Amino acid sequence: MTSTVAKGTKLAGKVAIVTASTDGIGLAIAKRLGQDGAKVMISSRKKEHVEGTVENLRKQNLDVAGTICHVGKSKDRESLVQETLKTFGGIDILVSNAAANPVFGPILDTSEEAWDKIFDVNIKSAFLLCKEVVPHMEARGSGAIVFVSSFVGYAPSELMGPYSVSKTALIGLTKAMSPQLAGMNIRVNCLAPGLIKTKFSEMLWKNPNTGFQQDFLNSIAMKRFGEPEECSGTVSFLVSDDASYITGETILVTGGIPARL
């Protein structure tokens, strides 16, 4: 089903890159930034996902283009940036949303290969994409970056240990980059979602009547899983002028999961 949305003006004139934006939280963020007036470059690994998403969002009167980008591949990151410059003439906003989690189980069972994949995709590629994008933000005179972490970055999951540590590292990367980038008028912040209903997390929410899922639900103050759209307004706020004095911060959007004081 498609709907026609009226564009807002909060992000008018801004150009945004959102990685992993053909499904789930990334798609909801891309859509919301577009609804708030930004031009958005959609990207993910699969051509058919990119093409389908661009077509769908254009039907909703959003100003979007798309390109393939596996964030772990340096050539793809370069072409994501070059395609955005070519299509929209600059870059103001980067939302680094892509993540991998190839393993579930006790942390000591993690192979070196799985560990490397998790840290390559979740952390290293986020940092390298920033390095690629920052000079273009500097050329525009300002910019805003948001990393997508997770509540498990604060409260590590026993069955997703390396993934949790990579998400903690993103919270650290946000803090570590903010002073240098502030000198370039670029803010860098982080979103830490709770349990959000996407493909990535479906084993946790698809059959909420089993004991396993019920335990997760019970740990949420609001006693429900979140929708991707419930993450997107926070990102739109963080990249807008309403957040002009916020940098180096992480905002939890969890429905009240106890992750930190």
List residues with catalytic annotation: 163
- 115, 127, 200, 216: which one binds ligand NAP (CB under 6 A): 200
- 11, 15, 16, 25: which one binds ligand NAP (CB under 6 A): 25
Pairwise CA distance, residues 196 & 114, whole Å: 24
In 3D space, the residue among 18, 19, 115 whose CA is nearest the CA of residue 73 turns out to be 19
Neighbours of 258 (CB within 10 A): 12
- 121, 126, 145, 257: which one binds ligand NAP (CB under 6 A): 121
What string marks each residue from 131 to 160 as x (binds ligand NAP by CB under 6 A) or -?
Answer: -----------------x-x----------
- 15, 22, 54, 188: which one binds ligand NAP (CB under 6 A): 22
Quote the tokens at residue 23.
Answer: 């499904």
Pairwise CA distance, residues 237 & 135, whole Å: 23
For residue 224, state whether it binds ligand NAP (rule: CB under 6 A).
no
User: 185 vs 216, which CB is nearer to ligand NAP?
Assistant: 216
For residue 240, state whether it binds ligand NAP (rule: CB under 6 A).
no
Q: Please report which residue ranges of the chain form alpha helices under DSSP H.
A: 24-35, 47-59, 74-88, 112-119, 125-140, 161-182, 202-205, 211-218, 229-238
User: 99 vs 243, which CB is nearer to ligand NAP?
Assistant: 99
Q: In the range 58-87, which residues lie near ligand NAP by CB under 6 A? A: 69-72
* Contact criterion met (CB below 8 Å) for 64 and 7: no
For residue 98, state whether it binds ligand NAP (rule: CB under 6 A).
yes
How far, in whole angstroms, is CA 206 from its chain's centroid? 22
Nearest residue relative to ligand NAP (C-beta): 24
Residue type, 5: V
Quote the tokens at residue 14.
Answer: 């801004």
For residue 126, state whether it binds ligand NAP (rule: CB under 6 A).
no
For residue 250, state whether it binds ligand NAP (rule: CB under 6 A).
no
* Contact criterion met (CB below 8 Å) for 118 and 101: yes
Quote the tokens at residue 175.
Answer: 């803090």
Which residues lie near ligand NAP (CB under 6 A)? 19-20, 22-26, 44-46, 49, 69-72, 97-100, 121, 148, 150, 193, 195-196, 198-201
